[in-house]
Amino acid sequence: MLDAGFHFPLRRFTTGVEPVFGCREGFDSMTLTMYGIKNCDTIKKARRWLEEQGVAYQFHDYRTDGLDERLLRGFVERLGWEPLLNTRGTTWRKLDEAQRNACDNADAAITLMLAQPAIIKRPLLDDGKGHALLGFSADGYQQFVSEVTA
């Protein structure tokens, strides 16, 4: 059973993704999609981990591949806007106090995340079957991949 603290149901978004990397035998090479921003250090660590483990995935970069409101609203419906809003990063800290204070509900958060996708917590790994993992840790990825590929 997936741990509810780490995994969230999401819709899969398949346009504008990079080619699949790696492929573990018996694993559907088109199953996982990682959402994020290519130059993020945490994304780099997560991608490296997946590639070292031979786990196939597609990468969707919010900046180059886009982020439409429907996809973001789907994430917010399943995860809530608070976990998706990265209030620990530089993008959040660069906002003035009025902008930060105005982000106190789902619609305001969605507007901000659409305008500044770098403010979305990452990576977001989606199995395309209703399970997702937000953030990165090697142990969390190991558990997630083991469970969604079983």
Active site residues: 40
Tokens of residue 63, six digits = 């900046």
* Structure letter (DSSP) for residue 20: P
* Structure letter (DSSP) for residue 58: E
Q: Do the beta carbons of residue 30 and residue 56 sit within 8 Å?
A: yes
Q: Do the beta carbons of residue 75 and residue 124 sit within 8 Å?
A: yes
SS3 at position 39:
coil
Cα dihedral 133, 136, 137, 140, rounded to 10, equals: 10
